[in-house]
């Protein structure tokens, strides 16, 4: 695991975008799993602007969804799918066949999980997984206590996630369950990048980097991944001493 700290959110985002571009240049048909959320917003803005300017070709890549709120339609502005569509897929003019997302409205969610597992294994696994971190240390919807050997699954959301998740929605929502890739997907991905920005993440980042590796704080398992990077801005790194400044 490598930890890099950047002076601010802008520099962090540029460096994360660089990593994604490097991955796609090395492997034009890369399988990418890019998280939704507030943290990677500027990364995607930078990435898509550079893709246009520098002619970076994403047309052979495959995109798989990380997670989704169960019961929230894909076209709801708070859904992960909508976010990815708006901030990545549309700006990159991807074709429908390149994109594989969970349908969290499906009556058979188990089948959604199986389909996603098959797509990922059929493509030879995930090349780059970019994840944020929840205030409770979750990754995707791998909530505290998640199983280390799990692939895609449906999970009851932690109270913190139910509350914090409201920020993505215009109206109060009932957020009770999530569908998510599992920690086994994370551990099997060829490269993992975890990003965090802002002081509100400083406490959980301290636990993630300095606490014991445990699925009680799912993000800590990133430390056991052979090719992982934790990329932070100064504010998120505030409570951790002795880190490399990028």
Residue closer to ligand PGA by CB (options 116, 132) is 132
- Answer for the pair 218, 182: CB distance below 8 angstroms, yes or no: no
Q: How far is the CB of 117 from ligand PGA (least distance, A)?
A: 21
Q: Nearest Cα to 109, choosing from 194, 53, 177?
A: 177
Strand 177-180, strand 153-156: pairing: antiparallel
Q: How far is the CB of 123 from ligand PGA (least distance, A)?
A: 23
Residue closer to ligand PGA by CB (options 80, 113) is 80
What is the layout of strands, in order, in the sheet containing 62-64?
2-6, 228-233, 191-196, 128-131, 31-34, 62-64, 99-100
Torsions phi, psi of 208, nearest 5?
-65, -40
Residue closer to ligand PGA by CB (options 29, 38) is 38
Residue closer to ligand PGA by CB (options 78, 132) is 132
The residue of the chain with the least Cβ separation from ligand PGA equals 37
Contact residues for ligand PGA, defined by CB under 6 A: 37-39, 132-134
The end-to-end CA distance of the chain, in Å, is 15
Q: Please give the positions annotated as active site.
A: 67, 136, 138, 143
The span from the CA of 72 to the CA of 94, in Å, is 23
How is residue 136 annotated by DSSP?
T
The span from the CA of 239 to the CA of 245, in Å, is 14
């Amino acid at each position: 695991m490598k930890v890099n700290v950047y002076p601010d959110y802008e520099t962090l985002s540029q460096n994360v975008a660089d990593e994604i571009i490097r991955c796609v240049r090395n492997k034009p048909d890369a399988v990418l799993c890019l998280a939704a959320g507030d943290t990677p917003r500027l990364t995607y803005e930078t990435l898509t602007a550079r893709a246009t300017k520098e002619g970076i070709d994403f047309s052979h890549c495959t995109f798989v969804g990380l997670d989704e709120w169960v019961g929230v339609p894909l076209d709801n502005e708070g859904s992960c799918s909508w976010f990815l569509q708006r901030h990545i897929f549309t700006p990159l003019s991807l074709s429908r066949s390149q994109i594989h997302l969970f349908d969290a409205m499906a009556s058979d969610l188990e089948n959604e999980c199986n389909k996603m597992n098959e797509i990922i294994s059929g493509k030879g696994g995930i090349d780059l997984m970019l994840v944020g971190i929840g205030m409770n240390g979750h990754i995707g919807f791998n909530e505290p206590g998640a199983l280390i050997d799990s692939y895609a699954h449906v999970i009851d959301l932690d109270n913190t996630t139910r509350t914090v998740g409201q920020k993505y929605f215009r109206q109060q929502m009932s957020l009770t369950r999530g569908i998510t890739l599992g920690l086994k997907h994370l551990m099997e991905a060829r490269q993992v990048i975890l990003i965090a920005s802002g002081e509100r993440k400083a406490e959980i980042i301290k636990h993630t980097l300095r606490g014991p590796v445990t699925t009680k704080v799912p993000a800590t398992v990133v430390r056991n991944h052979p090719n992982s990077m934790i990329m932070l801005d100064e504010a998120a790194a505030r409570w951790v001493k002795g880190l490399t400044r990028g």
